[in-house]
Amino acid sequence: MSKLRKTKEFYSRLYERAVELYKEGKSVKEIAELLNLSYSCVYAWVKLGRKPRKSKVEEFIAYVKTSGPLPVCEVVKKFPKHSELYLLAKQRGFAIERAKLPRKFKGYHLWYYLPEQAEELKKKIENFLKREYVKGKKLRGSPFPSTRFLSR
For 11-67, write each residue's pLDDT tens digit.
Answer: 777 888 888 999 999 999 999 999 888 899 899 988 888 887 777 888 888 888 888
Predicted confidence band of residue 135 (pLDDT cuts 50, 70, 90): low
Instruction: Delimit the domains of the chain by residue range.
Output: 8-46, 56-150
pLDDT value of position 10: 67
The answer to whether 64 and 113 are in contact (CB under 8 A) is yes
Does the pLDDT value for residue 108 go beyond 90?
A: no
The answer to whether 34 and 21 are in contact (CB under 8 A) is yes
Predicted confidence band of residue 102 (pLDDT cuts 50, 70, 90): confident
pLDDT value of position 6: 56
What's 33's DSSP letter?
Answer: H
pTM above 0.75, yes or no: no
Q: At what angle do helices 39-46 and 8-23 cross, to 10 degrees?
A: 70
Q: Which of 44 and 8 is assigned the larger pLDDT?
A: 44
pLDDT value of position 144: 39
Q: Which of 152 and 111 is assigned the larger pLDDT?
A: 111
Q: How many CB atoms within 10 Å of residue 55?
A: 19
56-150 CATH: 1.10.10
Which pLDDT tens digit goes with each residue over 61-96? 888 888 888 888 888 888 888 888 888 888 888 888
